[in-house]
C-alpha cells in the first residue's frame, strides 16, 4: 500500500523499502526522520517548480545523504558527504540501476552542502539540496504551507532539531575534510582549539617560488 504524507507519495517499490530499512537500521532517529523530511520537502519544491524527477532516485538521495554521519558508514579520510554518496551508488548498482542514474544520485549527495551549484544540475541533484536547505536552514520555509509542514513534522518529528551536534560528533576527528566547506564553521564553533584550514595560507605556503 502506497504511503502518502502531505500529498507526497513514498514510492511503493522494493528499492525504496530496502533503502528505508538500511537507513533506519544504521541511523539514529534524528537522522532518519530528517532524511525522510528532506525527501518530502524536496518533492514539494520540485512539484512547485514544475521539475520532472525520478521519485526513487530522489528518495535514495535524500535517505542516504547523511549516512556519513552514522557510525556504520562514516570514514575519517574523506568528506562525510562522500561517505553517503559512495554507499548510495553501491546500493543502486547492486539493485540493477544504471550507472548514469547512480552517478546522478552520487552527485546529489556529494554536493548537498555546496551552495548554489547543485541548483543548476539535474532535478534529482538540485532537489536533494533544496530539501536539505529547507529542513536545516529554513530556506524556502514559506514555500510550504503551515498545514503541509505540520503534517510532515507529525509523521517525522523534529524535537529540538538542531543537527549541529551530529555534525560535530562525526567531523571532530576528521577536521581536514572540512577544509573549504561549510562544515568548518561547525567545528570552529563547537570544538575547542580547532584550527581551520586557511586557503590564503595554503597558497602562500605552496612550493611555488613565484
Q: Which residue has the cell 548537498?
A: 112
In a domain, 73, yes or no: yes
List the domain range (segments joined by +) for residue 91.
Answer: 3-204
Question: Confidence class of residue 53 from pLDDT cuts 50, 70 and 90?
Answer: very high
Q: What is the pTM of this model?
A: 0.91
Average pLDDT, the chain: 92
Q: Is residue 159 situated within a structural domain? A: yes
Residues with Cβ < 8 Å from 204, sequence gap 6 or more?
Answer: none
Residue 201, helix vs strand vs coil: helix
In a domain, 96, yes or no: yes
Q: Is 210 a domain residue?
A: no
- pLDDT score of 132: 97
pLDDT at residue 92 in the model: 98
SS3 readout for 138-189: CCCHHHCCHHHHHHHHHHCCCCCCCCHHHHHHHHCCCHHHHCCCCHHHHHHH
Query: Would you say residue 79 lies in a domain?
Result: yes
**210 — pLDDT class (breaks 50, 70, 90):** confident
pLDDT digits 0-9 by tens, 76-99: 999 999 999 999 999 999 999 999
Instruction: Please report, for the domain that includes residue 56, its CATH number.
Output: 1.10.3210
Can you give the pLDDT at residue 182?
80
**Total structural domains within the chain:** 1
The CA–CA distances, whole Å, from 48 to 11, 88, 185 equal: 19, 26, 32
Question: Sorting pLDDT into bands at 50, 70 and 90, what band is 39?
Answer: very high
Domain assignment present for 209: no
Query: pLDDT > 90: what percent of the chain?
Result: 74
Residue 151 lies in a domain: yes
pLDDT in tens, 105-157: 999 999 999 999 999 999 999 999 999 999 999 999 999 999 999 999 999 99
**Predicted pLDDT of residue 21:** 98
Amino acid at each position: 500500500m502506497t504511503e502518502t504524507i502531505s500529498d507526497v507519495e513514498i514510492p511503493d517499490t522494493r528499492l525504496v523499502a530496502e533503502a528505508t530499512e538500511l537507513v533506519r537500521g544504521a541511523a539514529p532517529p534524528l537522522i532518519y526522520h530528517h532524511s525522510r523530511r528532506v525527501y518530502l520537502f524536496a518533492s514539494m519544491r520540485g512539484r512547485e517548480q514544475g521539475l520532472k524527477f525520478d521519485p526513487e532516485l530522489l528518495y535514495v538521495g535524500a535517505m542516504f545523504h547523511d549516512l556519513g554521519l552514522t557510525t556504520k558508514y562514516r570514514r575519517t579520510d574523506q568528506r562525510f558527504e562522500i561517505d553517503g554518496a559512495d554507499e548510495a551508488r553501491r546500493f543502486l548498482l547492486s539493485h540493477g540501476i544504471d550507472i548514469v542514474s547512480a552517478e546522478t544520485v552520487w552527485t546529489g549527495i556529494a554536493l548537498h552542502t555546496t551552495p548554489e551549484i547543485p541548483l543548476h544540475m539535474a532535478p534529482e541533484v538540485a532537489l536533494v539540496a533544496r530539501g536539505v536547505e529547507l529542513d536545516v536552514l529554513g530556506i524556502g520555509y514559506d514555500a510550504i504551507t503551515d498545514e503541509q509542514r505540520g503534517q510532515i513534522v507529525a509523521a517525522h518529528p523534529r524535537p529540538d532539531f538542531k543537527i549541529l551536534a551530529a555534525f560535530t560528533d562525526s567531523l571532530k576527528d576528521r577536521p581536514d575534510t572540512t577544509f573549504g566547506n561549510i562544515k568548518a564553521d561547525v567545528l570552529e564553533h563547537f570544538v575547542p582549539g580547532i584550527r581551520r584550514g586557511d586557503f590564503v595560507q595554503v597558497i602562500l605556503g605552496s612550493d611555488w617560488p613565484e
